[in-house]
Structure 1
Amino acid sequence: MLIGKQIGDYKLLEELGRGSFGCVYKCQNMYDQSYHAIKIIQFESLKNSEGIVGELLKDEISVLAKIDSPNVLKLEHYFQSSTNCYILMEYCNAGDLEKYWEKQGRRIKEQNVIDMIIQILNGLYELHKHNVIHRDIKLANILMHNDQVKIADLGFCKQLQNKDMEVRLCLGTMGTMAPEVARFDSYGLQSDIFSIGCIFYQLLFGELPFECYDVQFYLQSIRQQKIDFQKYGVVISNEVKEIISKMLIEDPKERLTFPQLFQYSLFKKVQNMSQVSQVAQRNFSKIETSNFYQNIYDNKKDIQIQQTGMNVLRQNEDILRTQQNEQYQIVNNIQQNSRINQNHYDQENVQKLTYELLSTKYLSPNQQSIANTLQQLKDSEIAFKSDKQQNNISSQISDSVSLQNTQNIVKYQILLDALEYCQRTYTEIDQITFLIQSQSLIGKFMLLKRIRSESKVYFQELSNNPQISELKDVFKPFIENNQFDIVLNQIKSSKQILNNLSQNYDNEIQEQATGIFHLNYYQALMDLHTQIKLEINRESEIKKKKVLVIVLIHIQRCMHFQDLCSQKIDLVEEFFNIKNKNLIDIIKKVQF
């Protein structure tokens, strides 16, 4: 039971919802007492889904972080531990639209429904601007805060629970799913139109428009187009009947389009709308909104999601199963070779990371390589110089201790890798030219302080252990690094920086850590993370943007230093091979 547990700065208060891959809780910030919602997803729950859920989760995070609309649920923060990932979102006090609809007796007055549809359309416009089709619009995925409607749940986790690959990859919910999606055809914006038509009818009449016992029955019902507008004695306007009928046409080419939908008078009668709906109506009635959709339809640029990836998986299921068996063998070999560690936690991480690596290799085979040969040579040279010290250290470790201390070797090598990770991240940050260079100093200083303070701890531990005390020398370079003193002096010599410091940071400007160092360290790196995002927005050159995005990834891992110390790090993969990856794939790793 997680109620009452504290995760970071947040205390879990109550469970709001549960899906196949995680739960959503209401939580409270322990410092400012504000309320939020937090989705907790276990990495363990993702590994048995051929990497598909993990990919969807990354999409959900990257999409939510880009959207800024009063009618789309806001993502406020994303972080992770060694076992879970956490998506912090704004809290909606009225639950989801399905619960509200049920409390209203499953039938809502026409004008109130129109208000909701207007807000949903406004939220969808923001999604469509980012080339996103929701694919699972239903009442349970729409939240309410006071009288404001917010589209939520872009992750589809509740639908990914059937072992049948076809069903699992047909994203959406029967009853509101567009027929082209149910048939595994390609689909686009018009699939969202169909789903909105379904919930439009459902809110008014208390039931979905088409029976959905199974896929074939559902598709047959849609084809027959027997939509009952006389059900339960509900009376609605002829204009609403016409809109719903045209939204629910089976052929997406014949279905009502977004530009046509906006032309109906019921979406223009502002005097009848609630205040929040008037705001939404003004936004999607703008000329740029109309032009956006008109350009898509006129030029036949409808945002299409060709389900080729899904078809490839179905056609090559044997290949996928073979790769899965190879993955299990690799995991077993790794675990057998690492049993000296006797750390089940690490073995789970090895299994998860190995699986994700193979899934990525299979599902994303077309990642671009760096075309610049000179840059490749330069990177190789840097990698050689950086890893030379690591090789010397490994040799020193192997020569200085007996086999009975192998477990300790593994432990301290992992710790050493974590420190090296932070040191390389500092070097990357130090090469960035910030708009205001002094703003980066606190973050850089706190990172260096972490490296030095942690190194001193490990140095002392080893000094107190006669059997492996020789190992302590490998941590000396981090302790004796003069970069710490240089940055410390830069801060102390700047009156402007000292005057602008918060009291917490003011107490940290020394070698000794305060009692709340870990909190200040995290906040300093968060501020640095934000500053680099501003630099990314200022930068016009794609190649330089890519470098900055990679630094963001490294900083966010440094934020969670204890997680860095929990598993073996492949420094070449993290710092050099990552440069060969597609920019979009790299961006998906960034936490917002």
Structure 2
Amino acid sequence: MQSGKQIGDFKLLEELGRGSFGCVYKCQNIFDLSYHAIKIIQFESLSNSDGIVGELLKDEISVLAKIDSPNVLKLEHYFQSRSNCYILMEYCNGGDLEKYWEREGRRLQEQKVIDIIIQVLNGLSELHKFNIIHRDIKLANILMHSDQVKIADLGFCKQLKNKDMEVTLCLGTIGTMAPEVARYDSYGLQSDIFSIGCIFYQLLFGELPFDCSEVKVYLSAIRQQKIDFQRYGVVIQNETKEVIGKMLKEDPKERLTFPQLFQYSMFTKIQNMSKVSQIAQKNVSKIEISRFYEQVYNNKKDVQIYQEGMNYLKQNEEAFKSQQQSQYVESLQRVNQINNNHQNSENVSKLAFELRATQYLSQHQQPISDSLQQLKDKETIYNTDRTYSSIHIKSQIGDSSSRQNTQIVQKYHFLYDALQFCFRTYNEINEIQFDNQSQSLIGKFMLLKRIRNESKCYLQDLEKNPQLQELKGGFLTYIQNSQFHIVLNQIKGNQKIFTNLRQEYNNELQEQATGVFSLSYCQALMELHAQIKQEINKQAEIKKKKDLVIVLLHIQKCNRFQDLCSQKIDIDEEFLNIKKKNIIDIIKKVQY
């Protein structure tokens, strides 16, 4: 394919290589001029090998969308045309590890190799956390961006149902392929450990550890376990020899596991590579990063933090990054006291070291002015339930001391938010240009009927609870909205739709809801969900594709209507701020 061709928002520049099932190009976004890598796969190739290629492609896209690691190539976008599918990924300026190894004379210094393997293991541990097996780890499938190493080409990857599951499909490359794979035996996650052991040796000694001229010769060499640690006069430390030897064991049960690997002193760095380090990396220069890691790696403390503490930190990274370390810990401790949450006390002490490291990285960033109380008011620190407090409720209903009245008012405030959410979603669906616009009518009608019926329930309670009067205008607006009858008439006026309508939907084409309305409502939204997924796959432009994914997420929430009614909804966050987020982060929240 010639350079200069435009695909969606991207202009092809040069071919970077050929992956498992497609050609990879460097490309440039024509609007912001940013560089990316794009893999182009022809649909006709997806039917090869009895459809295996297509299944592998689905696994690759699914896996890349889930993984968020600095050492795994990031998926940025996915779209299709009539003849091709396109996977847009981050661009790496250093090429692959094989070319780098060759440029350096095919033998690297031991410490440099350990630094590379540490990053490969960090990326692989993230894959294995999701029970994802790579199945083709080799130098050519590891990319470099500046000094950072990233596992790439997940075209052979497979997500297992659990960590003990095994598969039998023989995929990979002889030389780095685990023996159980080459023998067509069943295999699991430990096959990747063998592959890393192979490249560990290759980077040090200039050749793969076992003769791979033929499969039989290769398997025989592995069985004999004759690993030459004196090849070409290369001298390495005994610990390195031990680690490589145990990674290359023929029996996968005898190979080192991640917990065992991390016990070796050379890999203590992995224990210190936590989420905070990844957050900080995005905001500093290369020099600052190297100084930061030097401090982290030399620190003997256990700075691994529990998942709960990590979530707190990530939710408030901007606040944490811009305050003094002493303020961090003091603020966290005060919040724990306020919330009477003793479980977080240990998380505070474990966060302390990483907070110091983050402060070091962020010394030039402009501090934010929000105080702890302001952050607390904005519900950004340890406040995810997003329910109205009793004080907030009282401020809206006056000085009523009746608990029952308070609960009723809270119920209808939440209900009004939920209906507003549903109506905003209805308007989003209206903006979608379906190939056949009638496809969306039933889903839209059921959304409007839900809004209308729930509003009528409010009017019934209003007679008994005068304190609900302030909400009357909002609910009446939904009852009087003409869209309900417009969509209803469109359905009845379309002979093809009306004739082929399933009985449960036919019964709902009236003002009053049937006894099975909730079931019909969920079914209609699920069908609409599926229709929009088809539109997403057809869309090549990122902005339009992103808008469709957002609608998909909103429909998903509307389908769980009772959950939607149980919380205070931030409409601006759900419908405006979400458009500023990365499309992959939004996709992760969508249930496929």
TM-score, with structure 2 as normaliser: 0.50
- 2:436 maps to 418
Alignment CA distance shift 1:89-1:19 (3 Å): closer
3-state DSSP of counterpart to 1:172:
coil
Alignment CA distance shift 1:17-1:50 (3 Å): same
Q: CA deviation at 1:539?
A: 8.6
Q: Whole-Å Cα distance in 2 between the matches of residues 432 and 32 of structure 1?
A: 42
Q: Whole-Å Cα distance in 2 between the matches of residues 525 and 90 of structure 1?
A: 18
Counterpart AA for 1:212: C
- 1:96 maps to 96
- 1:523 maps to 543
Q: Whole-Å Cα distance in 2 between the matches of residues 423 and 105 of structure 1?
A: 65
3-state DSSP of counterpart to 1:33:
coil
- 2:255 maps to 255
- 1:286 maps to 304
Counterpart AA for 1:419: Q
Q: CA deviation at 1:66?
A: 0.6
3-state DSSP of counterpart to 2:244:
helix
Q: CA deviation at 1:8?
A: 0.4
Counterpart AA for 1:46: L
Is residue 122–residue 280 contact of structure 1 (8 Å, CA) maintained in 2?
no
Is residue 125–residue 284 contact of structure 1 (8 Å, CA) maintained in 2?
no
Is residue 110–residue 204 contact of structure 2 (8 Å, CA) maintained in 1?
yes
3-state DSSP of counterpart to 1:268:
helix
- 1:216 maps to 216
Is residue 133–residue 189 contact of structure 2 (8 Å, CA) maintained in 1?
yes
Q: Whole-Å Cα distance in 2 between the matches of residues 109 and 538 of structure 1?
A: 57
Q: CA deviation at 1:256?
A: 1.8
- 2:127 maps to 127
Q: Whole-Å Cα distance in 1 between the matches of residues 44 and 562 of structure 2?
A: 35
3-state DSSP of counterpart to 1:154:
coil
Q: Whole-Å Cα distance in 2 between the matches of residues 188 and 431 of structure 1?
A: 50
- 2:31 maps to 31
Is residue 147–residue 276 contact of structure 1 (8 Å, CA) maintained in 2?
no
- 2:243 maps to 243
Q: Whole-Å Cα distance in 1 between the matches of residues 213 and 74 of structure 2?
A: 35
Counterpart AA for 1:204: L
- 1:75 maps to 75
Q: Deviations over 1:463-482 (max 9, x none)?
A: xxxxxxxxxx999x9xxxxx
- 2:463 maps to none
3-state DSSP of counterpart to 2:240:
helix
Alignment CA distance shift 1:522-1:35 (3 Å): closer
Alignment CA distance shift 1:528-1:25 (3 Å): same
Instruction: Answer 1 or 2: higher relative contact order, Cα 8 Å, separation at least 6.
Output: 1
Q: CA deviation at 1:277?
A: 6.7
Alignment CA distance shift 1:119-1:420 (3 Å): same
Is residue 107–residue 206 contact of structure 1 (8 Å, CA) maintained in 2?
yes
Alignment CA distance shift 1:15-1:423 (3 Å): farther
- 1:234 maps to 234
- 2:374 maps to none
Alignment of 1:523-562 (within 5 A): 523=543, 526-530=546-550, 532-533=552-553
User: Please, which runs of 5 or more residues in structure 1 have no aligned partner?
Assistant: 158-167, 290-414, 434-447, 449-472, 478-517, 545-586
3-state DSSP of counterpart to 2:135:
coil
- 2:206 maps to 206
- 1:139 maps to 139
Q: Deviations over 1:106-137 (max 9, x none)?
A: 11111111111111111111111111011111
Is residue 176–residue 198 contact of structure 2 (8 Å, CA) maintained in 1?
yes
3-state DSSP of counterpart to 1:239:
helix
- 2:42 maps to 42
Counterpart AA for 2:72: V
- 2:380 maps to none
Counterpart AA for 1:420: S
Is residue 119–residue 280 contact of structure 1 (8 Å, CA) maintained in 2?
no
- 1:7 maps to 7
Q: CA deviation at 1:187?
A: 1.6
3-state DSSP of counterpart to 1:50:
helix
Q: CA deviation at 1:20?
A: 6.1
Q: CA deviation at 1:217?
A: 1.0
Q: CA deviation at 1:238?
A: 0.9
Is residue 23–residue 39 contact of structure 2 (8 Å, CA) maintained in 1?
yes
Determine what percentage of the aligned residue pairs are the same residue. 68
Q: Whole-Å Cα distance in 2 between the matches of residues 520 and 253 of structure 1?
A: 46
User: Please, which runs of 5 or more residues in structure 2 have no aligned partner?
Assistant: 158-167, 273-288, 308-432, 452-482, 484-493, 499-537, 565-586
Q: Whole-Å Cα distance in 1 between the matches of residues 440 and 555 of structure 2?
A: 21
Q: Whole-Å Cα distance in 2 between the matches of residues 41 and 543 of structure 1?
A: 40
2:173 matches 1:173: yes
Q: Deviations over 1:394-439 (max 9, x none)?
A: xxxxxxxxxxxxxxxxxxxxx9963334656766887899xxxxxx
Counterpart AA for 2:184: F
Q: Deviations over 1:318-368 (max 9, x none)?
A: xxxxxxxxxxxxxxxxxxxxxxxxxxxxxxxxxxxxxxxxxxxxxxxxxxx
Counterpart AA for 1:126: E
Alignment of 1:352-371 (within 5 A): none
Q: Whole-Å Cα distance in 2 between the matches of residues 102 and 137 of structure 1?
A: 17
Counterpart AA for 2:438: E
Q: Deviations over 1:207-257 (max 9, x none)?
A: 000011122111100011111111111111111011111111111112222
Q: Deviations over 1:252-290 (max 9, x none)?
A: 11222221111111123699x95697699799983769x
- 2:105 maps to 105
Q: Whole-Å Cα distance in 1 between the matches of residues 38 and 204 of structure 2?
A: 32
- 2:21 maps to 21
Is residue 77–residue 542 contact of structure 2 (8 Å, CA) maintained in 1?
no
Q: Deviations over 1:495-549 (max 9, x none)?
A: xxxxxxxxxxxxxxxxxxxxxxx999973562341354377589989999xxxxx
3-state DSSP of counterpart to 1:48:
helix
Is residue 181–residue 187 contact of structure 2 (8 Å, CA) maintained in 1?
yes
Number of residue pairs aligned between Structure 1 and Structure 2 = 339
- 2:161 maps to none
Q: CA deviation at 1:41?
A: 0.2
Is residue 79–residue 539 contact of structure 2 (8 Å, CA) maintained in 1?
no
Q: Whole-Å Cα distance in 2 between the matches of residues 521 and 431 of structure 1?
A: 33
Alignment CA distance shift 1:424-1:170 (3 Å): farther
Q: Whole-Å Cα distance in 1 between the matches of residues 557 and 114 of structure 2?
A: 38
Q: Whole-Å Cα distance in 1 between the matches of residues 149 and 242 of structure 2?
A: 24
TM-score, with structure 1 as normaliser: 0.50
Is residue 13–residue 26 contact of structure 1 (8 Å, CA) maintained in 2?
yes
Q: Whole-Å Cα distance in 1 between the matches of residues 151 and 30 of structure 2?
A: 27
Q: Whole-Å Cα distance in 1 between the matches of residues 48 and 41 of structure 2?
A: 14
Q: Whole-Å Cα distance in 2 between the matches of residues 122 and 249 of structure 1?
A: 21
Alignment of 1:135-534 (within 5 A): 135-156=135-156, 169-268=169-268, 286=304, 418-421=436-439, 523=543, 526-530=546-550, 532-533=552-553
Is residue 118–residue 280 contact of structure 1 (8 Å, CA) maintained in 2?
no
Q: Whole-Å Cα distance in 2 between the matches of residues 121 and 284 of structure 1?
A: 19
Q: Whole-Å Cα distance in 2 between the matches of residues 126 and 112 of structure 1?
A: 22
Q: Whole-Å Cα distance in 2 between the matches of residues 230 and 111 of structure 1?
A: 17
